[in-house]
A = this chain, B = another copy of it.
Amino acid sequence: MDPTTHRPTLDDIHAAAARIAPHAQLTPVLRSRSLDALAGCELHFKCENLQRVGAFKFRGAVNAVFSLSDEEAARGVVTQSSGNHGAAVALACRLRGIPATVVVPHNAPRIKLAAIHAFGARIVPCEVNQAARDAATAQVLAETGGRLIHPFNDARVIAGQGTATLELLHHAPGLDTLIAPVSGGGLLSGTALAAHGIESGIRVLGAEPEGARDAHDSLAAGERITGRVADTVCDGLRAELGPLTFRILREHVEDILLAGEAEIIAAMRLVWDRLKLVIEPSAAVPLATILKNPERFRGRRVGVILSGGNVDLDALPALFARAG
């Protein structure tokens, strides 16, 4: 199968769950009475900030890296990432004992670069836009003969991300709504495919910053919009949908809700305060959209993917100041 066009099945996601089980964390699902009261619905938070490397990205990376044949794996893995996927691929490759190269935009946060470096991967810096990322990635692939593990437009990665939803629905059966942040769409695709594989009636929503609303606009326009420059504090949500994730989201996602920067930071702070969890701004976008659109969630049983917790604590005062 071609991983850039294959649409993962529920069987693929179950296989991914078995493949990653020796390496990944079974993350807890936490609740908060005060957040439920604030939102007017039941919120079940899947804590992927407590996943290894501090983000759901580890699931997809491990599934992809351990899906390679020994022959494929031997020449190493190449990827592009604004951070968490890069760290996840770096660690997955270290666990398999193969080399990793990560193409990283030069404005990626220090904390995420440090993680990639710590896991022993080679870092290749590039410009911020998608075309520059793709060009640098192609060059490294040509040099090394390695295998590409795209951060989201890859069936193995999508299946891996879907395992978080398998666990969530196992822990909290009967959820009627799931919501996850959307950037390139790997997490949201995996979430939707896992959910609808189990129960076709579950409503799946995406959450996106206003300043990076390409997924929202792409679904509204019925075609993939590319080439914009994202403007958001959510450093994990600056990518664009890929052809595969666009097709999956079109079929499986009811809507993509938007939130502004101050709303996102306020929601992040609420999670810190009420759930006592450190999450990064990207992970707060779903809660921000829930609080902004209470009529769409009232009385619902909602699963929320807290996608990651890699935030630079030195940058906190500046972040909090954005919440006004």
Contact = CB atoms under 8 A, between A and B. Distances in A.
Interface string A71-86: 0000000000000000
A10 interface: no
A38 to B, nearest CB: 13
B317 A273 contact: no
A28 interface: yes
A269 B317 CA distance: 14
Nearest to A317: B317
Nearest to A316: B316
A170 interface: no
A153 interface: no
20 contacts: A28-B28, A30-B50, A49-B276, A50-B275, A54-B276, A269-B313, A272-B278, A272-B313, A273-B278, A273-B313, A276-B279, A276-B309, A277-B277, A277-B278, A278-B278, A313-B320, A314-B320, A316-B316, A316-B317, A317-B317
A272 B280 CA distance: 12
Copies in the complex: 2
Interface string A41-71: 0000000011010100000000000000000
A317 B316 CA distance: 8
Interface string A10-32: 00000000000000000010100
Interface in A254-295: 269, 272-273, 275-279
A78 B44 CA distance: 35
Contacts of A54: 276
Q: Sorted from nearest, which 3 A-B pairs have the closest CB atoms? A: A276-B309, A276-B278, A49-B276
Interface string A292-321: 000000000000000001000110110010
A30 B30 CA distance: 13
Nearest to A314: B320
Interface string A232-271: 0000000000000000000000000000000000000100
A273 B278 CA distance: 8
A273 B320 CA distance: 17
B273 A276 contact: no
